[in-house]
Structure 1
Amino acid sequence: MLEITDLVAGYGASDVLHGVSLTVPENGVACVLGHNGAGKSTLLRAALGLLRPSAGRVRFDGRDVTRLPAHRRVRDGLAYVPQGQQSFPQLTTVENLRLVADGRGRDGAEAMTEALDLFPALRGLADRPAGLLSGGQRQQLAIARALITRPRLLLLDEPTEGIQPSVVTQIQHTVLELAGRGGLSVLLVEQHVDFALRAATRYYVLEAGRITSAGERDAGAPERVRAALSV
Structure 2
Amino acid sequence: MLEFDGIDVGYGRSVVLHDLSLAARDGGVTAVLGHNGAGKSTLLRAAIGLLKPRAGTIRLDGADITGLAPHQRVARGMAYVPQGQQSFPHLTTAENLQLIADGRRNGKAATAEALGLFPALAGLMNRRAGLLSGGQRQQLAIARALITEPRLLLLDEPTEGIQPSVVAEIEQTILSLAGRGGMSVLLVEQHVGFAVRAAGRYYVLEAGRVTSSGQGGEDAESAVREALAV
Find out whether 1:86 has 2:86 as its counterpart. Answer: yes
Report 1:163-182 matches (<5 A). Answer: 163-182=162-181
Cα deviation, residue 103, structure 1: 3.4
Gaps of 5+ in 1: none
Output the CA distance in 1 between the equivalents of 2:124 and 2:142: 15
Matched with 1:201 is 200
Output the CA distance in 1 between the equivalents of 2:89 and 2:129: 5
Cα deviation, residue 15, structure 1: 0.5
Output the CA distance in 2 between the equivalents of 1:137 and 1:219: 28
Output the CA distance in 2 between the equivalents of 1:65 and 1:174: 29
Letter in 2 for 1:187: L
Give percent identity, aligned residues only: 70
| Structure 1 moving runs of 4+ over 3 Å | none
Matched with 1:216 is 215
1:35-65 CA-to-partner distances (Å, cap 9, x unmatched) read 1111111000001111000111111112110
Matched with 2:74 is 74
Matched with 2:157 is 158
Q: Match of 2:23, SS?
A: strand
Gaps of 5+ in 2: none
Output the CA distance in 2 between the equivalents of 1:198 and 1:101: 32
Native 8 Å contact 2:157 2:187 kept in 1: yes
Letter in 2 for 1:145: R
Output the CA distance in 2 between the equivalents of 1:29 and 1:78: 14
Native 8 Å contact 2:198 2:216 kept in 1: no
Letter in 1 for 2:124: L
Matched with 2:59 is 59
Q: Match of 2:79, SS?
A: strand
Letter in 2 for 1:161: E
Matched with 1:121 is 120
Native 8 Å contact 2:199 2:217 kept in 1: no
Letter in 1 for 2:90: Q
Native 8 Å contact 2:85 2:137 kept in 1: yes
1:9-39 CA-to-partner distances (Å, cap 9, x unmatched) read 0011210000111111111210000111111
Cα deviation, residue 219, structure 1: 4.2
Output the CA distance in 1 between the equivalents of 2:11 and 2:218: 38
Q: Match of 1:161, SS?
A: coil
Output the CA distance in 1 between the equivalents of 2:218 and 2:113: 34
Matched with 1:44 is 44
Computed over aligned residues only, the root mean square deviation of the Cα atoms, in angstroms, reads 0.9
Output the CA distance in 1 between the equivalents of 2:98 and 2:197: 32
Q: How many residues align?
A: 230
1:127-175 CA-to-partner distances (Å, cap 9, x unmatched) read 1110110000000000000000000100000001101111111111111
Task: Please give the TM-score of this superposition, normalised by the length of structure 1.
Answer: 0.97
